[in-house]
Amino acid sequence: MLRFILTRVSLVIPTFLGITFLTFILIRLVPGDPIEVRTGERGIAPERLAELRHEMGLDRPLWHQFLDYVGNVLHGDFGLSLITHNSVLSEFLTLFPATLELALCAMLFATLVGLPAGILAAVKRGSLFDHGVMGASLTGYSMPIFWWGLLLILFFSVGLGWTPVSGRLDLVYYVEPDTGFMLIDTLKAGDYEAFRSALGHLVLPTIVLGTVPLAVVARMTRSAMLEVLGEDYIRTARAKGLASGRVIGMHALRNALIPVVTVIGLQVGTLLGGAILTETIFSWPGVGKWLIESINRRDYPALQGGVLLIATSVILVNLLVDVLYGVLNPRIRHAR
Amino acid sequence: MSAELSTNTETAVTVSRPPHPLTEFWYHFKQNKGALGGLVVIALIALIAIFAGVVAPHDPDIQYRDAILTPPVWQEGGSWSYILGTDDIGRDMLSRLMYGARLSMMIGLIVVTLSLAVGLGLGLVAGFFGGMADVLIMRAMDILLALPSLLLAVVVAAILGPGLVNAMLAVSVVVIPHYARLTRAAVLAEVNKDYVVASRVAGAGPLRLMLIVVLPNCVAPLIVQATLGFSTAILDAAALGFLGLGAQPPTPEWGTMLASSLQFLQRAPWVVTWPGIAILVTVLAFNLLGDGLRDALDPKLKR
C-alpha cells in the first residue's frame, strides 16, 4: 500500500519539474523585457537598465536563472508582481478560495444533476427521457460557455432581475474574510442576508462552469450503468426477486460509480480552465480573472506563478484521485 | 440447428462476396440519425464557408452607417436587406457570420492537421522504438496534459501575442498529446501481431513498418479523435477570441465578434446571440459526427 502511494508520488516529481521548466521557458519567449514594460515609453538610462537587470537576475545565463527559479519556487517564492509589487503567492492565495468555492459548487451541481440524470437515462434506455438527457448533454458538451454565461445573464439578471450580474457579494455587505469561502464566512459571521446575497451571486457562475462537467458526468454515468446493467449478477439479483430500486441502487450503481468517480476527478482541469472564462464574464474575483488581467498588464511573474500554481493543484488533485482509486480498488493497486 | 446454420452460411458465402469495408461502414453509420444530421450540417457550413463571397448578401466589413444596430427581420424595425440585423457599426450580421464560418472551418482544419501530424509522429516514434524515446515523449505529453487545456492555450497565445495564427498554434499545441497517446496505444496494440512480425522478417525497414504496415490499422481511433478535434479547435479558438487573445477585430471570427459587441448585450441581444448559436451548432455537428464515427468504426459496438 505504502509502496503504491510512494510510486505514484514519485511519478509526479518529473511532471512538476517539467511544468516548472515549461512556465520558466515560456515566459522567456515573450518578446520585450519586463523592465521595458515597467518603464514604459519614457525610456531608461543604460546604467540604470543594467543595474535593474542585475537586480532581477536577468543578466545571468538561462540555466542559472532556471535553477534559481526552481530553488525559489521550492521555498514558496514565486516572485513579485510587476504591477502591485506584492508576492505572487500571497496574491494567488487570497484569490484562490474564490475560484475553489466556485469550482466546488460547479462540481457539486454537475454531480447532483448529472448522476441521477445518467442513472435514469440508463434505466429507461431508449425512452424520450433518455433521448432528452443525451441530447442535452451533447449540447452542454458543445456549449461555448462564455456565450452561455452571457445568455443566462441576459435572461435571469437583466430580463427577470432574479440574480445579480457580477461579483461575489453585494457592496452593502462586508464580511471579514476568514476561510475565503463566502458562503462559510457569511454564515460564520451570522449574517444571513449576506449569505443569501453570496448564494445569489453564486448561482449563475455555478451553472455556467458546471455545464460541461454536468454533460460529461451524465454521459459517463449512463454508459457505465448500461454496461453494468447487462452483467449476469444483475440478472441474478433480479431473478431472486429483489425490488428494482434495490437492484439499481445497491448492485448496479456501486459498480458503475468507479468510472464516474474517475471522470469527476479528471474534470478538475476543465473546471480550472473554464474558470478563466466564467470569472471573466461574471467579474468573479478569482485566479482565472486575475490571470487574464496579468496577461493584459504584461505582469509576467504573476502569470508565470499563477500558471505554475494552478498546474500544481491540478497535478495534486489527480494524484489524490489516483491514490484514492488504488485504495478503493485493489485490482489497480496490484496491477503494476 | 447448427448444421442448418452452417449450410446456410456456406451458400451465402458462395452467392455474395463480403461487403467492401466502406459499404459496411456506411451501413452502420447511416443508422445513427444524429451523426447523419451532423454530417449534413457540416456539409452546409462548409459550403457556406467556401462560397461565402457568393452567398453573403453584403461585404462583411462595410459599415452601413444609417443602419446601425438594425434588429433581425422578424423584429420591429428589421429589414430584409439585413436578415439577421446589423452590429454596432452597421455591419451585416449574416454576412459576417458567413465569413466567420470560413475562419472557423479553416481554424479546425489547420489545427487538426497540425496537431495530428505532430501527435502522430510522436506517437509512432514512442510506440515503435520504446525505451528512452518513449519515456521522454510520453513524459512531455503528460506535462502538457497536466495543464488545463484552455489555460495552456491562453498562456501560449499570450506569449506569442494575440492574433488568429498564434491562436491556432496555441490550440494545436494543446491537443497534440491526445493524438500522441492514441497513436502510441494503437501502435503498441498492433506492433507484436503476426503480420507486423512477418513484414519485419521479410526485411521491411522501420519507416515502412511504421507508415505502411502498422499505421493503416491504427487509423480508426484517430479519425474519431480528429473529428472531435474540430470541435475542440473551434471552441477553444473562439474562447481565445472572446478573451481578446485570438483573432482581432474587425476579423469576423465568431468569438471575437461576441467579445467586441458585449456592451450592446442589453440593447441589441442579437449581436451576441448569433455568433454563439453559430459556434454551438458547428461544434455540436462535429461532436455528433464524431460520436457516430466512433460507433460505426468501433467493432466492439457493432453488434
C-beta of residue A131 within 8 angstroms of C-beta of residue A120: no
Report how far residue A24's alpha carbon sits from residue A68's, in angstroms, rounded to the nearest whole number: 11
Q: What is the CA radius of gyration of chain A?
A: 24
**pLDDT recorded at residue A336:** 47
B143–A19 C-beta distance less than 8 A: yes
Structure confidence by residue, pLDDT tens digits, B100-126: 999 999 999 999 999 999 999 999 999
C-beta of residue B235 within 8 angstroms of C-beta of residue B283: yes
With beta carbons under 8 A apart, name residues in chain A contacting B239. Answer: 144, 146, 277
With beta carbons under 8 A apart, name residues in chain A contacting B253. Answer: none
Express as a percent the part of chain B with pLDDT over 70. Answer: 93
Chain mean position to CA B168: 12
- B235 in contact with A, Cβ within 8 Å: yes
DSSP per residue over A109-140, as a string? HHHHHHHHHHHHHHHTTTSHHHHHHHHHHHHH
User: For an interface test with B, which of A17, A19, A131, A142 has the most B Cβ atoms less than 10 Å from its Cβ?
Assistant: A142
Residue with cell 497534440: B176
Structure confidence by residue, pLDDT tens digits, A85-142: 888 898 999 899 999 999 999 999 999 999 999 999 998 888 899 999 999 999 999 9
Averaged pLDDT, B156-181 = 89
Report how far residue A194's alpha carbon sits from residue A181's, in angstroms, rounded to the nearest whole number: 13
User: Per-residue pLDDT for A18 more than 90?
Assistant: no
Structure confidence by residue, pLDDT tens digits, A221-258: 998 888 888 888 888 888 888 888 878 877 888 888 87
Report how far residue A77's alpha carbon sits from residue A85's, in angstroms, rounded to the nearest whole number: 13
CA distance B143 to chain A (A): 5
Q: At what angle do helices A287-296 and A88-123 cross, to 10 degrees?
A: 130
* Residues whose CB is less than 8 angstroms from the CB of residue B266 and which lie 6 or more positions away in sequence, other chains included: A154, A158
DSSP state of A230: T
- A103 in contact with B, Cβ within 8 Å: no
Contacts with B, A 252-271, CB within 8 Å: 269-270
Q: Which three cell numbers stand for residue B271?
A: 449581436
Report how far residue A172's alpha carbon sits from residue B52's, in angstroms, rounded to the nearest whole number: 52
Neighbours of B8 (CB within 10 A): 10
Q: Torsions phi, psi of A3, nearest 5?
A: -60, -45
CB-based burial label for A285 (10 Å; 0-12, 13-18, 19+): middle
Express as a percent the part of chain A with pLDDT over 90. Answer: 23
Express as a percent the part of chain B with pLDDT over 90. Answer: 26
**Three-state secondary-structure class, residue B86:** strand
B245–A310 C-beta distance less than 8 A: no
- Return the biggest CA–CA distance within chain B: 83
- A150 in contact with B, Cβ within 8 Å: yes
CA distance A121 to chain B (A): 17
How confident is the prediction for chain A on average, in pLDDT? 84
**pLDDT recorded at residue B224:** 87
How confident is the prediction for chain B on average, in pLDDT? 84
Of the partner residues A144, A269, A311, the one whose CB lies closest to the CB of residue B279: A144
Residue with cell 487545456: B149
User: Per-residue pLDDT for A313 more than 70?
Assistant: yes
Residue with cell 448561482: A203
Beta bridge partners of B92: B86
Q: Whole-model pTM?
A: 0.85
Contacts of B165-170 spanning 24+ positions with Cβ under 8 A: B167/B107, B167/B237, B167/B240, B167/B241, B167/B245, B167/B246, B167/B247, B168/B107, B168/B110, B168/B111, B168/B114, B168/B233, B168/B237, B169/B114, B170/B240, B170/B245
Looking at this predicted complex, what is its ipTM?
A: 0.84
Integer CA distances (angstroms), B39 to A131, B209, B298, in order: 19, 34, 18
**pLDDT recorded at residue B3:** 47
Structure confidence by residue, pLDDT tens digits, B206-263: 888 888 888 888 888 888 889 989 999 999 999 999 998 888 888 889 999 888 888 8
With beta carbons under 8 A apart, name residues in chain B contacting A158. Answer: 265-266
Report how far residue B209's alpha carbon sits from residue B218's, in angstroms, rounded to the nearest whole number: 13
